[in-house]
Amino acid sequence: MIAIVLFGKPGAGKGTQAEFLKGKYNLTHISTGDVFRYNIKNGTDLGTQAKAFIDKGQLVPDSITINMLADEVAKNMDKAGFLFDGFPRTIAQAEALEKLLTEKGIKFVGTVGLEADDEVLVARILERGKTSGRADDQDEEKIRNRYREYNENTAPLIKFYEDRGVFTAVNGIGSIEEITGRLSNVIDTLI
């Protein structure tokens, strides 16, 4: 079993690409946003805990997030591996993920980062906002704030993974098919 982290700024295309890659490589796509929504909607113990923080406008502690992901991993041990999207977002989360994967006997093979210019991504998200229904996809200032947050807290993960020799950057601009092809070329070397 393997694990790959799909990395990139909001709007870089992680979710879109994960939909193609999960089928091609028989991977379970684990999106933290989807996992949070599922647990909250279904009133799980972890979902109730997370909702208490979210309702106060606070970040959900890493311990709750990693426990939700551990549950998802445990439920999906019948695939060739996992494709993580939206996690980790901090070095502490990356270390927690490494520990989880080691405990489950899953080989972490690499992080693939979708790279794109902020202005292109802002335009992409604003366009997505016309149909997504997400208020945070329709407000340019909120989008730019997400990039500031990413640059402060998540971008340091690039160096963290580069230092371990497990980071590959991929050009995230082009057609969906072109980007899928670039990602596939990298993943084929990892597995």
Binding-site residues: 11-16, 32, 37, 58-60, 86-89, 93, 128, 134, 146, 174
Smallest CA-to-CA distance from 111 within 1, 16, 2, 7 is with 7
User: Would you tell me how many other CB atoms lie within 10 Å of the CB of residue 180?
Assistant: 18
Q: For residue 144, is pLDDT > 90?
A: no
Binding-site residues for AMP: 32, 37, 58-60, 86-89, 93, 134, 146
Listed in sequence order, the residues at least 6 apart from 87 whose beta carbon sits closer than 8 Å to its beta carbon are: 5, 30, 32, 65, 69, 93, 97
Mean pLDDT, the chain, integer: 89
Binding-site residues for ATP: 11-16, 128, 174
Rounded to whole angstroms, how far apart are CA atoms 60 and 62? Answer: 6
Rounded to whole angstroms, how far apart are CA atoms 187 and 191? Answer: 6
Active-site annotation holds for 164: no
Q: For residue 138, is pLDDT > 90?
A: no
User: Would you tell me how many other CB atoms lie within 10 Å of the CB of residue 51?
Assistant: 16
Count structural domains, the chain.
1
Mean of pLDDT values over 83-87 = 90
Element (H, E) at 81: strand 81-85
Active-site annotation holds for 148: no
Active-site annotation holds for 134: yes
According to the model, what pLDDT value does residue 5 have? 95
Given 41, 99, 107, 134, the catalytic residue: 134
- Domain containing 52 equals 2-190
Reported confidence tier of residue 9, pLDDT bands at 50, 70, 90? confident
Helix 45-55 with 32-41: angle, nearest 10 deg: 100
Reported confidence tier of residue 98, pLDDT bands at 50, 70, 90? very high
- Which CATH number goes with the domain that contains 131? 3.40.50.300
